[in-house]
Structure formats: C-alpha cells, structure tokens
Amino acid sequence: MKSIFKFLFFAFAIFFSEFSNCQLHFQTQVNKSENDAEENISNGNVDLTSSDLELCYDPGFIGISSKDQYVGIRFESINIPKSAIIDSAFIQFTADGTTSGPTIVLIYGEKMFNSPPFTTLSENISSRTRTDEFVTWNIPEWNENNAATNNERSPDLKLIVSEIISQSLWQTNNSISFIIEGSGTRRAYSWDGSEQQAPILHIYYRENNVSITDQKLAKINCYPNPTSDFVYLDLTDKPYGEISYLEVLDMSGKLLKKMDLNGGEKHKINLMEFQGMVLFRLHSSNQVAIQRILIN
C-alpha cells in the first residue's frame, strides 16, 4: 500500500510540474495616441499624433522637413506576474506603404516598473532611463503595404521584458515602454494612423511555481509525507529566517487554510479535513517556500 501512495505522490508531483510549466501567451495592442510617439533628435520635439511611425529616419514630405528620430511605444496592462519566466517576446508592426534600403535599429526598454504615457514635453522619449538589455534589428525590406509578417516582426525581446518585470516594484497590469533608435526608414502604422494596425506586443511565458518549489524543498523539514492526518513542521534550523505564517492551498491555488506561525520551532498541522494533494506555502520576511503534501 505504501508503495502505491509513493507512486501516486510522484505522479501528482510530475503532473503539477508539467502543469506549472505550460507556456502562456499574452498580447496587447497600442490603444491611444499617448502610447506611441516620435521625438525629433535635433530639437527634442515630441509628436503624439503622427499617422505612422518611421523607424527611425523620417524622409519628410512636401512642406515637412526630414528628420532623424526616436520612436517610443508603450503597452498597458501587462498581465504577467513578477515571478514569470519569459520564453519569448516581440512587437508585431504593420507596414504603412513600402520602404526599402538598409535599416538598422536598436530597441531598448524603459527601465521603469510602471512606464507612464508619452507626453509632448521636450525629449520625453530620449530622457527616459533605458534598460541594460537591448536588441539590434537589421530590418528586411517592407515590400507590401499593410503586411504584418515576420519581416515586420521585431527580434526576440525576452531579455528586455525580463529585466523590466524583475524590478522590485513591478506589479501585474503595469505598463511597459520600448525606445527605438537607428538609421534607415521603415514605416509602420501608429494608433492614430490605424487603430486596428497599431503595434502589438506578444509575450510567451511560464509561471515560475516549480522553480520556487525546487529551490526550497530540500531545506523544509516536514513529515510524514504522505500522511493520513497530521504533518509535523520543524523550523528549528530556520532556513528562511523567521517564518510568519503558513498557507494550505489546493492544486488550483485556492486557499484552504491559513495559520500564524509566530513563535515556536515545531508545529503540528492537522490535515484530516483534506484529501489528495495540497500545497504548503511558507511565508517569511524575505521569501516564500512551497512543499507538496499527499494526504491519503
């Protein structure tokens, strides 16, 4: 019988590991004038209402002077937790007309935990603090109007996104901005030029539950496991400093029970009201540890 429970424990553990590592896809589109902008490098003037985004030389038009420029693109409500593992990320542009000739740009993120909208204040794009990470994009020719293909897709931005969301004050649904500079011309739709064809940010990511668990399990003294009634939690060695409280969760993350653990080094946890696999989540002043418990 014990061997069966042991098998079930590891089977559930493997299932949980696979479930937690499922890749998720998030996307969001520029949705207002102040979320894409162009800044004239020579004088710092910022335009929020251009019908297109030239990356990054604007050849001008009749009565309009040509200019080198910075381009800023902001995406709101990034529904990704700080603990997420970013597998890939890119911006999908849509071509506004056809443009050719050598074009090489650098893409940075704004190193801000919640990037504010762009404004018409002088140098409002170039004055923003940039991420350490950046990518170089040698952009292919854009030979088809209204195209949104791999040619109009940025390189992988995962290191930039990871740097932004790993900041201590990052919270789910904050905003991210990118800053683009370079030479040559590729013309993409802005939100003012076409709401439906404005830039789109795609992020593929995984929740980081398993990596947190695997890093902490070896130091948790919790027995017996599996159990049929009680678990003894021994915090004598204080591997995480002072533990403040314990949460018992089901496998979907629903909170089943919460216990304050202030004071004392050994605790007897009653689990008789639960069945199957549950999660122990220990909270200390500076970290969280997770342990799987099988109740038979």
DSSP state of 142: B
Q: Tell me if residue 243 falls in helix, strand or coil.
A: strand
Polymer length of the chain: 296
pLDDT grade, residue 15 (50/70/90)?
very low
The residue with greater pLDDT, 158 or 18, is 158
What's the pLDDT at 285? 59
Per-residue model confidence (pLDDT) at position 290: 75
Q: Which residue has the higher pLDDT, 112 or 282?
A: 112
Q: What CA–CA distances, in Å, run from 158 to 3, 36, 104, 152? A: 43, 20, 19, 17
Average pLDDT of the chain is 84
pLDDT tens-place string over residues 161-199: 999 998 989 999 999 999 999 999 999 999 999 999 999
Architecture of domain 2-20+209-295: Sandwich (2.60)
| pTM higher than 0.85 | no
pLDDT in tens, 210-259: 433 334 433 567 889 889 999 988 877 655 556 677 888 876 667 788 88
Q: Please, are residues 54 and 69 in contact by the beta-carbon 8 Å criterion? A: yes
Residue 24 tokens, joined: 């998720």
pLDDT of residue 263: 63
- Between CA 288 and CA 182 the distance in angstroms is 43
pLDDT of residue 212: 38
Q: Is the pLDDT of residue 16 over 60?
A: no
209-216 and 2-20 helices, crossing angle to 10°: 130
Q: Has residue 128 got a pLDDT over 90?
A: yes
Q: Residue 160 — φ and ψ, nearest 5°?
A: -65, -50
pLDDT tens readout for residues 262-285: 666 788 899 999 888 888 877 765
Residues sharing a CB contact under 8 Å with residue 93, sequence separation 6 or more, in sequence order: 53, 148, 152, 153, 154, 186, 188, 189, 199
Question: Is a pLDDT exceeding 50 seen at residue 116?
Answer: yes
Spans of all domains in the chain: 2-20+209-295, 24-206
- Are 99 and 162 in contact by the 8 Å Cβ rule? The answer is no
- Which region among 29-38, 195-204, 266-275 has the lowest average model confidence (pLDDT)? 266-275
Q: Which of 17-31, 52-66, 90-104, 225-239 has the lowest mean pLDDT?
A: 17-31
